[in-house]
Structure 1
Amino acid sequence: MTVLLIKMVYFHKYMKMAHEIIAWKIMLDRHQLEMVRAIDHYGTVTKASEHLCLTQSALSHAIKKLEQRVGVQLWRKSGRTLLLTDAGAHVLQAANKILPQFERFESELEALKQGFVGSLKLGIECYPCFQWLLQVVSPYLSKYQDVDVDIKNEFQFGGMGALFAHEIDLLITPDPLLNRAIEYIPIFDYEQVLVVSNQHAFAELEHILPEQLEDQILFTYPVETTRLDVFNQFLLPAGRTVKQHKTLENTEMILQLVASNRGVAVLPDWLVAKAENKDQIMSLRLGKTGLHKSTFIAVRKGETQSRFVDEFVALAKQQSA
């Protein structure tokens, strides 16, 4: 039988959630939670049954059996779509919190099976941080050969939810969000600078003003404008914008386009200093005083971190950008 939901309390501090389930005087198993999550995600029994590798009739029977067990309706029909009731939404909330714990526990068991004695799951919430991260991961892997390191790129610009769900152990981010449940550990400081070609008209300047970018093509990483410092801390407060905004994921391509005088970019100063074509580009301050930032490692507060997390943080502090 699948490990019962209540037993997960002893693995991760879910006492409050467990008390709510006990109050219903029921016990849900993992497959039932997965069923609730799949139906909510796919919307229909047909699609959910395909995902769960069940027949439609088997899933329909399981739905009825679950509702009989809890004694309350969890879904209502809207055409061919199944929508969660308030009670169903409550179960889904628990499923979204608890299922990642099963998955994490299974991955840890698999790591043990393959000879690893621990695991470290990292999330990155900034594109340029990946290049810095490689400088940290390389010596970390050499020192801790018994640790399975997994970098979660899919959590870029949305990693806080993954951190809360225990899908990652730590999150590397330049944009800390105030939250009592999260601790932010400062790693290194840097300055956001405007990068231009040596042939650009700005090449003789030491700093740039917002209005001077209005006729420029600006290259950035594919991030929401509201989260780009050049917009929310430099251009928009001055009521300015750029002629055209283009996004690219690849740092080398951005730098190559800038070197070819196809536009300008805003990047961390440390990244520009390490660029292969740094002899073809130059950097200017954004404003007279510059735009200064810090990179942090975010961890869940109040929890005992594994030694693998602690050792990684220590090593990250030693490795400046």
Structure 2
Amino acid sequence: MEYPEIRHLVAFTTVLSAGGFTKAARILNLTQSALSHQIKTLEDQLGVQVFARIGKRIVLTQAGEILLTHATTVLRELADARQAILELQDPGRGRLRISSAGYSCYLLLPRLLQEFKAEYPRVELSVAADYTGEAVQHLLEGILDVAIMVTPPPVRGLIVEPLATDELFVIVPAAHPWAKRRRVSWEELATQVLITYNKASQTHQLLLHRLAQEHATPPETMEVREAEAVTEMVKIGLGIAVVPPWVVREDLRRHRVKALTLGRTGLKRSWAIAYLQGKKLPPYSQAFIKICRERFAALMAGEHYDEH
């Protein structure tokens, strides 16, 4: 039996984490036929099928489950070896793979990276905008080093440090009938179209869970897979959004939208930074985590940000 090639193991784990061949092919910058050929070659080398189709879903076979455990370890060890060699050649060099959820990726993360790069200019950065579920999986698979996320339920194998807490508000356009109000009830949400960037996100699931607790009917939902487009659609009256004020700070200041409290007590969520338990973090990873501990909450609150 031939040993699998590293690129085939990467293809295999990417198909699984992406949830299918179409998205995995985009991530790997391959055609679907090229990706399918790599998986077929892997299966031929192993003499077994690693994926099976159930309807439109792709699932792991028993052999695939075994391969996943070992492939994840192999790829993680190779990434660690690469980093260790880079650090040996130059302690200021390395690679940091970061994920930051949703709006934080383009509204908060750039300022954190600005400070980080001032201290570690030769560290190569890779940034993804994963939602919490994706980020957790990618951390465990060794695809990411650090992830900023809405706090997940406890996950074995991860260290999850709290960073901040924010509150979700109903965002409506300035001309909306609710715009002169201060709050809306949970039941009233069902009368509107809710615009969200990802139904699978931890934030959307938190909202659905709270709606169930309040015995309120979930609203009709429009999913827009670009976070930046959500508030633009709200402003032209296509629906409402449930986001924190820091996402629409400028629009609030210019009175283009209005933020309304949800119910009598509001809806809060917590943010965290997560990384793999038991993995020795290089100095630059530790430095980035320290910057997040010190700066993330202040950036979210819109407080003055000192340049260093």
What is the TM-score with the length of structure 1 in the denominator? 0.69
Q: 1:273 aligns with which of 249, 259, 262?
A: 249
Is structure 2 residue 280 aligned with structure 1 residue 313? no
Q: Which letter maps to 2:278?
A: G
- For residues 47 and 229 of structure 1, what CA distance do their matches in structure 2 show? 35
Q: Secondary structure at the match of 1:204?
A: coil
The Cα shift of 1:118 comes to 1.6
Which residue of structure 2 lines up, in the alignment, with residue 282 of structure 1?
258
Q: Which residue of 2 aligns with 1:128?
A: 103
Residue aligned with 1:141, SS? helix
Q: Tell me if 1:51 matches 2:24.
A: no
* Structure 2 counterpart of 1:71: none
Unaligned runs of 5+ in 2: 16-20, 22-32, 51-58, 301-308
Contact 2:75 2:142 in 1 (8 A): no
Q: Determine the structure 1 residue equivalent to 2:136.
A: 160
Paired position in structure 2 for 1:304? 280
1:159-184: CA deviation from partner (whole Å, max 9, x where unpaired): 11211122211111103221242221
The alpha-carbon distance between structure 1 residues 84 and 182, as it changes in their structure 2 partners (threshold 3 A), is closer
Alignment correspondent of 2:48: 75
Distance 1:261 1:39 in 2: 43
| Post-superposition CA distance 1:17-71 (Å, at most 9, x none) | xxxxxxxxxx99563x7668878979xxx978943897x9xx96xx4xx7xxxxx
**Distance in 1 separating the partners of 2:210 and 2:61:** 45
2:189 to 213, 231, 237: 213
SS, match of residue 144 in structure 2: coil
- The aligned residue for residue 198 of structure 2 is 222
Match of 1:90 among 53, 66, 69: 66
What is the distance in 1 between the residues matched to 2:12 and 2:287?
A: 41
**CA shift for structure 1 position 220:** 0.9
Give yes or no for contact 1:140–1:315 (8 Å, CA) kept in 2: yes
Give the match for residue 254 of structure 1.
Answer: 230
Structure 2 counterpart of 1:127, one-letter code: G
Equivalent residue for 1:203? 179
SS, match of residue 305 in structure 1 = coil
Matched-pair contact (CA < 8 Å) for 2:152–2:202: no
Greater shift after overlay, 209-218 or 97-106?
A: 97-106
Quick one: structure 1 residues 242 and 165, their matched pair in 2 at CA, closer, same or farther if it must change by over 3 Å? closer
CA distance 1:230–1:84, change in 2 (3 Å): closer
Which residue of 1 is the match for residue 55 of structure 2?
none
Residue 29 of structure 2 aligns with which residue? Answer: none
Give secondary structure in 2 for the equivalent of 1:196: strand
- 1:184 corresponds in structure 2 to 160
Letter in 2 for 1:245: T
Provide closer, same or farther for how the CA distance between residues 184 and 275 of structure 1 changes in structure 2, counting only shifts above 3 A.
Answer: farther
Tell me the equivalent position of 2:93: 117
Greater C-alpha Rg: 1
Deviation (angstroms), 1:86: 5.2
Contact 1:120 1:149 in 2 (8 A): yes
Question: In the alignment, what sits opposite 1:194?
Answer: 170
Listed one character per residue, the Cα deviations across residues 238-279 of structure 1 (whole Å, up to 9, x for unaligned) are 333355211223344322222223221111122122448742
Cα deviation for residue 157 of structure 1 reads 3.7
Q: Is the 8 A contact 1:234 1:286 kept in 2?
A: no
Question: In structure 2, what is the Cα distance between the partners aligned to 1:233 and 1:166?
Answer: 30
State the match for 2:220 in structure 1: 244
Asked whether the equivalents of residues 123 and 170 of structure 1 are also in contact (C-alpha less than 8 Å), the reply is yes
* Partners of 1:231 and 1:241 within 8 A in 2: no
Q: Which letter does structure 2 place at the counterpart of 1:128?
A: Y
User: CA separation in 1, counterparts of 2:174 and 2:89?
Assistant: 55
Aligned mates of 1:281, 1:171 — CA distance in 2: 30
Letter in 2 for 1:305: L
Say which SS state the counterpart of residue 90 (structure 1) adopts: helix
Q: Relative to 1, partners in 2 of residues 1:51 and 1:277: Cα closer, same or farther, differing over 3 Å?
A: farther
Distance (Å, rounded) in 2 between the aligned partners of 1:147 and 1:226: 30
- Give 2:304's aligned residue: none
Q: Distance in 1 between matches of 2:184 and 2:265?
A: 10
Query: Identity of aligned pairs, percent?
Result: 20
Matched, 1:172 2:144: no
Moved over 3 A (4+): 27-31, 33-42, 46-50, 83-89, 103-116, 153-157, 249-252, 274-278
Which AA in structure 2 matches 1:51?
Q
Q: Judging changes above 3 Å, is the alpha-carbon distance between structure 1 residues 260 and 109 closer, same or farther for their aligned structure 2 residues?
A: same
